[in-house]
């Protein structure tokens, strides 16, 4: 499987599992430092791994992938890319597959601004040659300068998740966390990265009785723990990695869900969807991305200014002081997640797009 398992990998897994039920045969090509010699059979798709020879600026590169990609592309009816991934752009331009090609545009390139100048010509050629581009939210489509350049071939298909695993909770895990954590508390779940705004959350609860629990690893957790110690916080719990059963238990147990990501590197926020599907009120920042599509301001939760500890503090305190409003927002979040962000809906919309592209190519 992939070296990492983040939002894009989760997206691919969910889409393949669901659209296979509609009759789509999915083949996934990925890179790995120690690839399996034979294809890996998953639920709804087959994974082919190519040897990753180099990893630079969050991008893997592989010599063997060119041959594997060309072979698999010749066997496919449609090729589905995910952006940003400069190496995928290289594969596409080098092999020039004569098949309908679409790309799911997950995010603009935010962090590698200097390298972006070198990459821009390749990116432009790649996106020019693609038949169709999918944005994961209308908010991101409107706010992305890149997507606006290709508006005539962009459609919006929101990310969906399988809601079934979140409906029931393991009572033993629920009781374990109830004994360990002091209620009420606000929860964050996700990879602990620089753009998640968790340093802002720690400042927000400094000098208050508001409690937060942070579940996740990968990145700057030690820096956050040092910050918490310097602020002398006794109202934050660092939970580290939690498995799926514990995550569901924590989502059911928490009072509300905070998602203080303050930079556009946060393109959507699947964790917000997970909290919404169990009916929790949400707090997120207005950063012009899909987070505000998931969390509709004053309907499913509160949307605040990015980078503001005081705004986050006030939002958490407001929900604590107004439990009826918090409950109503959580109920609205659950309904909205069922209507717009179901895995079945996402798969159906992609399936219809695949059929449309094939019909247009065969005219």
pLDDT in tens, 240-258: 999 999 999 999 999 999 9
Q: Rg for the chain (alpha carbons), in Å?
A: 21
**Residue 2's pLDDT band (cuts 50, 70, 90):** very low
Strand partners, 8: none
Which residues neighbour 195 within 8 Å (Cβ) at sequence distance 6 or greater? 110, 261, 262, 263, 265, 266
d(CA 61, CA 94): 14
- Per-residue pLDDT at 217: 81
pLDDT in tens, 319-341: 999 999 999 999 999 999 999 99
pLDDT in tens, 142-165: 999 999 999 999 999 999 999 999
Phi, psi of 45 (to 5 degrees): -165, 165
d(CA 345, CA 14): 11
Q: Are 105 and 147 in contact (CB under 8 A)?
A: yes
% of the chain at pLDDT higher than 70: 96
pLDDT in tens, 54-108: 887 778 899 999 999 999 999 999 999 999 999 999 999 999 999 999 999 998 8
Which H or E element spans position 213? Answer: strand 212-215
Signed CA dihedral, 233, 211, 253, 5: sign only:
negative
Residue 213 pLDDT exceeds 90: yes
Q: Report the relative pairing of strands 282-285 and 256-259 from DSSP bridges.
A: parallel
**Residue 114's pLDDT band (cuts 50, 70, 90):** low
Give all strands (DSSP E) within 77-145, no chain letters. 79-83, 101-105, 132-135
């Amino acid at each position: 499987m992939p070296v990492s398992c983040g939002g894009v990998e989760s997206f691919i897994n969910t889409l393949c599992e669901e659209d296979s039920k509609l009759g789509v045969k999915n083949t996934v090509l990925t890179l790995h430092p120690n690839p399996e010699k034979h294809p890996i059979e998953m639920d709804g798709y087959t994974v082919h791994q190519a040897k990753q020879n180099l990893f630079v600026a969050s991008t893997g590169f592989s010599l063997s992938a060119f041959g594997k990609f060309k072979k698999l592309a010749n066997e496919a009816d449609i090729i589905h890319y995910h952006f940003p991934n400069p190496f995928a752009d290289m594969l596409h331009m080098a092999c020039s597959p004569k098949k309908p090609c679409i790309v799911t545009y997950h995010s603009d390139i935010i962090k590698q601004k200097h390298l972006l100048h070198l990459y821009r010509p390749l990116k432009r050629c790649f996106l020019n040659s693609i038949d169709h581009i999918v944005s994961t939210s209308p908010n991101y489509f409107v706010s992305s300068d890149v997507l606006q350049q290709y508006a005539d071939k962009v459609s919006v298909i929101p990310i969906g998740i399988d809601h079934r695993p979140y409906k029931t909770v393991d009572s033993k895990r629920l009781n374990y966390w109830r004994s360990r954590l002091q209620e009420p508390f606000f929860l964050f779940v996700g990879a602990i990265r620089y753009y998640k705004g968790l340093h802002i959350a720690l400042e927000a609860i400094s000098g208050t009785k508001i409690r937060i629990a942070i579940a996740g690893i990968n990145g700057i957790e030690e820096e956050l723990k040092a910050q918490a110690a310097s602020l002398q916080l006794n109202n934050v719990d660092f939970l580290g990695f939690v498995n799926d059963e514990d995550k569901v238990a924590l989502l059911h147990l928490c009072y509300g869900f905070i998602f203080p990501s303050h930079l556009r590197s946060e393109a959507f926020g699947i964790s917000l969807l997970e909290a919404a599907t169990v009916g929790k009120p949400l707090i997120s920042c207005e950063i012009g991305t899909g987070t505000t599509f998931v969390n509709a301001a004053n309907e499913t939760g509160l949307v605040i200014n990015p980078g503001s500890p005081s705004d986050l503090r006030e939002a958490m305190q407001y929900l604590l002081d107004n439990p009826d409003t918090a409950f109503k927002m959580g109920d609205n979040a659950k309904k909205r997640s069922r209507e717009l962000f179901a895995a079945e809906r996402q798969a159906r919309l992609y399936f219809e797009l695949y059929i449309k592209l094939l019909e247009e190519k065969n005219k």
